[in-house]
Structure 1
Amino acid sequence: MDDGNSVTTKLLTLLNVSATKIGKRKRAEDDFVPAEKLNKRKSISFAEPIQPKATSEKENIVLVEPPNEPTATTAEADEAEEIADLEVEEDTSASDGYEKHFGVNPSCLSESSRTAAESRSWTNSRERIGKLGSAIHSMPANSEASTSACTSEIDILDNLKTPFLARLSKQAKNQAELQNDLLSTMSTRKDLYITSTPLAIKRPTREAIALHALNHVIKKGRRVLKNNERLTRAAEADPDAPPPEDVQDQGFTRPTVLILLPFRSSALDWFRALTSHTPQPTYQIENQSRFLSEYGLPEGVVDKLVTAEPGTYPPDHVDTFKGNVDDNFRVGIKMTRKTVKMFANFYGCDIIMASPLGLRRSIEKEGNADYLTSIELLVVDQMDALTMQNWEHVKFVMNHMNKLPKESRDTDFSRIKPWYLDGHAPYLRQTILLSAYETVETRSLYNATLKNVAGKIRTEKHWPAVEVPEGIDQSFVHFDCVNPVDEPEKRFHHFTTQLLPSILKSAVQSSNTIIFIPSSFDFIRVHNYFRKQAGVTFTVLSEYSTPQDISRARQSFFTSKKAFLLVSERFHFYKRYKIRGIRNVIFYGPPDHPQYFTEFLSYPFIDEGVEPSDVTCRLLWSKYDRFRLERIVGTEAVDALLKDV
């Protein structure tokens, strides 16, 4: 937890920087022309899975411009028209999910809840959440938080209902129920970690989360608009009277939603999910051609993964690497009443889509991460792919989230919510994590970084055992380790002093042997060890291998010119080559992706005349490999495997 004195000192510094601005509020006339009546919003609730229904009315999505930056005359006119067009009474009661969690005085935010979250003291219970399945529900221990349920009524704004129902009518029943359960869970504003996202649910999951994000942006914008109108009316009624004091509705900067993604193609998928809820011609998408050009493939380029004969590449590989796989990007999205503006300035946008690498380079270049100070909704998608890139970039971004800004940036401090000024934003930010499977890194992020005092939810996956060809000689080799810090050293020691020497003594197993190494650090270490072994021929395939290196390595191994082939998991993640010439498979550690285990044990049978009895498999493991072992041997078997270690 941040020290109170430190937070106060930083805040006073900011206040001193903008001392000339603190004494005055931003008047509504600076941002829009007020109308006679400020109408309000209401929410809709779905107790059962949402069913599409016919409608003859055309509902427009209404989005507004929070006044964090000057707007053009046309924008002012749009906002004036916005007020005149609003016809729905706004629900400002405590039952409104956004106001309850992100309002001026969140009921779940207390000293006891913050202390529990900071000390990682949670009260856990196991519950079942519809199509999300079994989940671990964590609440701050001994806190005064009142929201204890995993689900709540869905508070989608009426203006978002029509396009959502139109999309829902095209979904299969299971997917519609999944989206309903997702929206119901996210409406609690608790953190959500979905630990298994099969290909079949990726699109409906993205669309549900995108709807939740848009709903968040709209609700914040409408609150700002309402308070702008109140300030204007108060000034018109009595120009000499002090302005109302209860108008805190903003953060330090405008962006409130951050979506972290591994590739530009992922951003394109999320762009489609977001715009599925903002249909044309109601909405105009500015800079759409530029976005599609920069985040898609160049014109005339054929995607070989998509056009390849079915079965050439596994479906998960095609889904991950289709399209533009550049991992250095960031784009701001600005939502207005009638437009979705791509490539908006970061300090004038509502939603940021970026890769961890792209954000890190931006932060290091600018020397601050002020545009991340007011993120209220964080989505991290394809965490399994992010672990195969550089997880340090993810940790870097998380360490710069929701800090006090280094510059005032014309902020009107009288409009900032009190918990932002107190440095409590991390305790209210809602984080949604999505991964195909769990890793130590993703679980650590969930356990150590997420401090939402409303609670957090982690789904559970019951893994079946993977299927491998029958008759293969498999041996799971265990080594003892009592401290995770010592695990890499213990693994290397057991491999070099016991497992590898026994293999080298065997005439059969000392040739046509592939060694699969999950960790890049372990790969470098084993590679250096092999270089020092006289009389042992080997070649390598890593994520840094050039096409020429790959061709030479595969050929020399297939023709038995090299007895051993060292392969990193990242190489297989990016390339997914089928390797010929394998008779013996050694897993230096269990692969993160369970399908890799099956694939490497199937590759020997690419060659003609190979029988299962000709193939051997050795897997080195410790008790700290539980996540990866569970996905290979199955949830039930892993408990028995670890029982006596």
Structure 2
Amino acid sequence: MDDGNSITTKLLTLLNVSATKIGKRKRTDDEFVPSEKLNKRKSATFADSTVTFAEKENVAVVTAVEKNESSTAGASAAEDKDELDESEEPSSSSNKYEAHFGLNPSCLSESSRASVEAKSWKTSREKAGKLGSVILSIPQNSEASTSCTTDSDILDNFKTPFVTRQSKQSKNYGELQNDLLSTLSTRKDLYLTSTPLEIRRPTREAIALYALNHVSRKRRRVLKNNERLTKAAKANPDASPLEDVQDQGFTRPSVLILLPFRSSALDWFRALTSHTPPPAYQIENQSRFLSEYGLPDGAVDKLLAAEPGTYPHDHVETFKGNVDDNFRIGVKMTRKTIKLFADFYRCDIIIASPLGLRRSIEKEKNGDYLSSIEVLVIDQMDALTMQNWEHVKFVMSHMNKLPKESHDTDFSRIKPWYLDGHASYLRQSILLSAYETSETRALYNTSLKNVAGKIRTEKRWQPIEVPAGIDQVGVFHPSLSLVLISCQRFVHFDCTSPVDEPEKRFRHFTTQLLPSILKSAVQSTNTIIFIPSSFDFIRVQNYFRKSSGTTYTILSEYSTNQDISRARQAFFKGDKAFLLISERFHFYRRYKIRGVRNIVFYGPPDHPQYFTEFLSHPFLDEGVEPSDVTCKVLFSKYDRFKLERIMGTEAAVELIKSS
């Protein structure tokens, strides 16, 4: 992190302005016209009654042309005032927002920042209602609240229709949403480590409501300060500008929602607009959005059209609709309008995929629109890990950085902690995943620096169901710390460092596990080798290619339909003894493989249901007995997340301890 002098130097180089001199003030609001003493523009356009960051203005005496246009400016300013009057709430309900995102956040101090950088956290277990048991982490020497819940502070114009909709749904969903909003209102980071399919919609709607509330509060503060500036300038044109009107970031976007597919963006669009129904709000460019983010006219979704049971339910929910993973869109909130496809520097919410943002940043060589993100949402992290996690890390590396350009910003209105380079310590991150992986936990541990604290939910997994036909001979046995399936077991290899884990796994597989398989006449044919990591998959494939006397074929995420058909047929007929399958292939395709008698997991799968699915594949063929099937799983202590989803939390812990 840069020190104070370095940050000041960068800002002076970038801006070359002085925010304290009235002669060099810049405006960020091209739709609000201050009094004559604060404005030099010859004309103004009022598209809607919200704040943008489009034109810079130097303060000077207004010209005669501006005076002739004062009636138009007054009408627009009146609309802004009406908005404040119509939805003004008691100041006490906005204290939580101001305490965290206001001028002087109470939790932001030198000691709290130092604790975050040193990864010095005080942790405790708490209960958060329907969210269950959570791990609460607060920076050492921090004044942040040690509570994981508080009263939610949602504006009445959002809360009233939301409560009405809640009355029409399941009571459990309503309680979950209320507990989620209470937790988010603490402004702490939140990591939901287990979001089953059945709670995705209510969870998404609650977070969308929170995001809209955040945007609305920020915009209302800007409009209120605009009004104060106008009144102050009219009362005393020669007075110095107000000192407490810092209410903005470097750029306008304050909410970023990262998603894996366009269909996910469509789901979030529906969640956002569920809180802004017509006629209160109008949606611009909705037809274009539905066309680009839905399926083309006349297209049939084969997943939805297939007979029930053809594809697993989770696969249908993940891949139905438009699954393009390259997209980005800006959403602008105004008084009564939601504008889609808004310019990034004029929008409030950015909805994008990590790939879409990365391509945009690399093309423009600039990611300044991420400099002022205050609420970050990353949904379906389990699906993002099946894409390219490097894209997520790339986007995170560009979050809350000092901008490279000024973007016509009024620097006298920027919050002090932005100028100090401390935005990342106040950003609130909301992470959602169906299950935990090492990548998602690492993101939580290293990239979330919120000095208000962070919350991670806990889940104790139960053993998954063993497929029919194996359940009589395959049981989870915690006391023995192994899983018996047709007299086979999990195979442990020693490893003391996660950095060395891939190398030691490969060495154990090639020097011990695979040679023992090749020595067996039964296990050296009709054998599937399931490989979770794409890097490991390439490595094992290269090893098989160089090994003589071993026939094999592969199924990867890059296999064409023709490749898949050829590989499956060769394996089923016995022309190929081994079939190498990557987890990403199964994630995207979900094929049932016939001809399987032996299953080798190079590592436990991230998706626990894949374990049972592959164990069920041998029984697609007639006459197969459980005793004909063998299964081996290679694991280390760093596979705990994966093991507990298969064996159950208690059995996985016992297995790792005994190993």
Residues 82-104 of structure 1, C-alpha deviations (whole Å, 9 max, x = no match): 41252454444596211110000
- Give the Cα separation in 2 of the matches to 1:545 and 1:17: 56
SS in 1 for 2:658: coil
Q: Is the contact made by 1:403 and 1:423 (CA closer than 8 Å) also made in structure 2?
A: yes
Q: Contact 2:191/2:457 (CA < 8 Å) preserved in 1?
A: yes
Instruction: Determine the structure 2 residue equivalent to 1:521.
Output: 535
User: Match for 1:213 among 211, 214, 223?
Assistant: 211
Structure-2 residue corresponding to 1:65: 50
Letter in structure 2 aligned against 1:13: T
Corresponding residue for 2:161?
163
| Cα distance, 1:608 vs structure 2 | 1.1
Matched, 1:337 2:322: no
Shift of 1:22: 7.0
In the alignment, what sits opposite 1:58? none
Instruction: Name the residue aligned to 1:102.
Output: 101
CA distance, structure 2, for counterparts of residue 28 and residue 561 of structure 1: 69
* Number of residue equivalences: 617
Greater CA drift, 162-171 or 380-389: 162-171
The question of whether the paired residues in 1 share the 8 Å contact of 2:595 and 2:618 is answered with: yes
- After superposition, residues 148-159 of structure 1 pair within 5 angstroms as 148-159=146-157
Between the aligned partners of 1:212 and 1:416, the Cα distance in structure 2 is: 23
Return closer, same or farther for 1:170/1:380 CA change in 2, 3 Å cut-off. same
After superposition, where does 1:453-532 map in structure 2 within 5 Å?
453-468=451-466, 469-470=470-471, 471=473, 472-473=485-486, 474-532=488-546
Matched, 1:131 2:145: no
1:210 positional shift: 0.2
CA contact (8 A) 2:194 2:436 kept: yes
CA distance in 2, matches of 1:385, 1:517: 17
- The structural deviation recorded for 1:460 is 0.5
**Counterparts of 1:183-202 in structure 2 under 5 Å?**
183-202=181-200
SS of 2:122's equivalent in the other structure is: strand
In 1, the alpha carbon distance for the partners of 2:207 and 2:592 equals 36
Shift of 1:5: 2.8
The separation in 2 between residues aligned to 1:5 and 1:273, in whole angstroms, is 44
Could you tell me how far apart the structure 1 residues matched to 2:72 and 2:131 are?
45
The CA deviation string for residues 296-340 of structure 1, in whole angstroms up to 9 with x for no partner, is 000000001111111111111111101000000000000001110
Note if 1:451 corresponds to 2:436. Answer: no
Q: 3-state DSSP class of the match of 1:171?
A: coil
Determine whether 1:541 maps to 2:526. Answer: no
- The answer to whether the 8 Å contact 2:571/2:595 transfers is yes
Q: Which residue of 1 aligns with 2:113?
A: 114
Superposition deviation, residue 546 in structure 1: 0.4
- CA shift in 2, pair 1:103/1:149, >3 Å: same
Q: Which amino acid aligns with 1:133?
A: G
Aligned to 1:391: 389
Q: What letter corresponds to residue 346 of structure 1 in structure 2? A: F
- Residues 167-192 of structure 1 deviation map (CA, whole Å, 9 limit, x = unaligned): 21222011000000000000000000
Deviates further, 83-92 or 504-513: 83-92
Distance 2:605 2:21 in 1: 56
8 A contact 2:29–2:55 mirrored in 1: no
Corresponding residue number in structure 1 for 2:600 = 586
Q: Which residue of 2 aligns with 1:38?
A: none
Distance 2:87 2:603 in 1: 59
Identity, in percent, stands at 77
Match of 2:480 in 1: none
RMSD: 2.1
Between the aligned partners of 1:75 and 1:403, the Cα distance in structure 2 is: 35
Residues of 2 paired with 1:249 and 1:127: CA distance?
A: 34
Which stretch shifts more, 164-173 or 474-483? 164-173
Q: CA deviation at 1:287?
A: 0.2
- Equivalent-residue separation in structure 2 for 1:95 and 1:467 (angstroms): 48
Equivalent residue, structure 2, for 1:180? 178
- Gapped runs of 5+ residues in structure 2? 36-47, 57-68, 474-484
Contact 1:64 1:337 in 2 (8 A): yes
Q: Distance in 2 between matches of 1:522 and 1:27?
A: 54
Q: Name the aligned partner's letter for residue 539 of structure 1.
A: T
Q: Give the 3-state SS of the residue equivalent to 2:500 in structure 1.
A: helix
Q: How does 1:398-477 map to 2 (within 5 A)?
A: 398-468=396-466, 469-470=470-471, 471=473, 472-473=485-486, 474-477=488-491
Report the equivalent of 1:55: none
User: In structure 2, do the counterparts of structure 1 residues 353 and 541 end up closer, same or farther at CA, with 3 Å as the change threshold?
Assistant: same
- How many angstroms does 1:16 deviate by? 0.9
Decide which of 251, 254, 268 is 1:253's aligned counterpart: 251
Instruction: Return closer, same or farther for 1:508/1:489 CA change in 2, 3 Å cut-off.
Output: same
The Cα of 1:466 is off from its aligned counterpart by 1.2
Q: Is the 8 A contact 2:254 2:372 kept in 1?
A: yes
Q: TM-score, normalised by structure 1?
A: 0.93
Distance 1:17 1:300, change over 3 A: farther
After TM superposition, the score normalised by the length of structure 2 is: 0.91
**Are positions 1:639 and 2:645 aligned together?**
no
Q: Please give the alpha-carbon distance, in whole angstroms, between the structure 2 residues aligned to 1:27 and 1:238.
A: 19
Most deviating of 447-456 and 65-74: 65-74
Matched, 1:598 2:612: yes
Quote the Cα distance in structure 1 between the aligned partners of 2:502 and 2:549: 26
Residue 450 to residue 459, structure 1, CA distance change in 2 (3 Å): same
Q: Displacement, 1:30? A: 5.5
Question: Which residue matches 1:576?
Answer: 590
Determine if contact 2:374/2:427 at 8 Å carries over to the other structure.
yes
Contact 1:34/1:80 (<8 A) preserved: no
Per-residue deviation at 1:27? 6.6
8 Å Cα contact 2:258/2:377 also seen in 1: yes
Query: Take 2:272 and 2:325, find their aligned partners in 1: how far apart are those partners?
Result: 20
Output one character per residue of 1:485-533: Cα deviation in whole Å (capped at 9) or x when no partner: 1111111111011100110111111110000000000000000000011
Q: In 1, Cα distance between the equivalents of 2:253 and 2:74?
A: 20
- Deviation string 1:362-410 (CA, Å, 9 cap, x unpaired) is 0011111100000000000000000010000000000000000000111
Contact 2:27 2:409 in 1 (8 A): no
2:310 is the alignment partner of 1:325:
no
SS at match of 1:485: coil
SS of structure 2 residue aligned to 1:631: helix
Query: Contact 1:28–1:34 at 8 Å: present in 2 too?
Result: no
CA spacing shift, 1:487–1:128, aligned 2, 3 Å:
same
* Whole-angstrom distance in 1 between the partners of 2:22 and 2:133: 49
SS of structure 1 residue aligned to 2:489: strand
Query: What letter is aligned with 1:282?
Result: A
Looking at structure 1, the residues matched to 73 and 630 of structure 2 have their Cα atoms a distance apart, in angstroms, of 69
- Residues 527, 132 of structure 1: alpha-carbon distance in 2 compared, 3 angstrom cutoff: same
Structure 2: distance between partners of 1:467 and 1:167? 36
Residue identity matched to 1:106 = P
